[in-house]
Amino acid sequence: MTDRFFLSLLFFLLAQTVFADSRTLVSLRADLGSGSLQPVLARQALVPVPDRVLARWVQDVDIEQFAITGFNENRDRFAARVRLHFSDGGVGFLRLEGEPGARYRLTEWYDYSSGLQLSDLASYGDEFEAGKGKAFLTMLQDSPGAAELADLAAGEPALLALWLAQCSGQPCEEQALAAQTGTGKPAVWQLKQALMASEQNAYREISGKLHVAIGDDPYLWWLEGQFALSHERCGWVHSALRQAWLRHPDNRPLADVALQCHLAMMQQGTAFLDALSESLGADALAIAIRRYYQQQNVSIPADYQPWAQPGEK
């Protein structure tokens, strides 16, 4: 048992060293550190269109920070899981695959937010140059909120995902989201749609698949909490959010959304609030509780008064 543990530890340390010295990782970090997705998109070797055109398809947003949450590589291939934090406060998740090296080339790109996958777009080929495909791209660029886009992209999940990616954070996002159809691949938009449609079983299935694909990422839990609060579905997620925060006690956004769902459900018991008070400090917890009820424009319930007083429990 001791020898097996030692060999496993040695393999882990060697793998960490290889990844730390990876020329692919160095280049990927430099590209993401530019604050834009365009340098990464310029590495793609799949969709046969100019990079400047592809960059228009995938809305470029300012990257405030990023984290490479998963990475593996061999001589021929690499795969990376990336979390992006945007300057507008949003969070996105990508899976990148391709040929490794300092001049790595992407042969796959999957956006977990919209479900956009480069290989799906590549299958269209010349169809983007004429007819329905060209009309869709032209309208997407000129009028992304046009109702006609739903008809042009009907039955084409890749085009629908492209529409949603282009409209992320924009007024047209609601239209694009309503038009989406399932593809069997996990996507964050499916969480929002299931919560909006009150489909608890669908939500649990989608949530499980996403956490398998993305991992136990505190910011994915944070997003779920935000969606649940927006659609008054904290009853579905409050327990999972508390457990996720216990695994990631240093993540303040997750703590905040878990607290809000806890308060929305009027949960009894003190263990969670005690844990938050110990981790965040009594004063910080008191401020968060008072702010929540001020936003709701209601009085703080008597059960929560002890935690709403600065310096007290």
What does the pLDDT read at residue 49? 58
Provide the residue ranges of all domains of the chain, joining segments of one domain with +.
2-179, 188-307
Does residue 19 come out as left (phi exceeding 0), alpha (psi in the -120 to 50 range) or beta? alpha
Residue of 89, 79, 159, 155 lying closest to 117 (CA atoms): 159
What does the pLDDT read at residue 2? 40
Asked if 210 and 222 count as a contact pair (C-beta separation under 8 A), the reply is no
What does the pLDDT read at residue 10? 40
What does the pLDDT read at residue 1? 44
**How confident is the model over 212-232, as pLDDT tens digits?**
999 999 999 999 999 999 999
What does the pLDDT read at residue 309? 84
CA end-to-end span of the chain? 47
CA distance 37 to 55: 8
In the chain, which stretches have pLDDT less than 70? 1-21, 47-60, 125-126, 311-313
What does the pLDDT read at residue 237? 95
CA distance 21 to 208: 33
Look up residue 295 and give its two tokens: 């936003």
Residue 29: in which H helix or E strand, if any?
helix 23-32
Amino acid letter for position 185:
K
What does the pLDDT read at residue 108? 92
Residues paired with residue 92 on neighbouring β-strands, in sequence order: 84
What does the pLDDT read at residue 221? 97
What does the pLDDT read at residue 88? 84
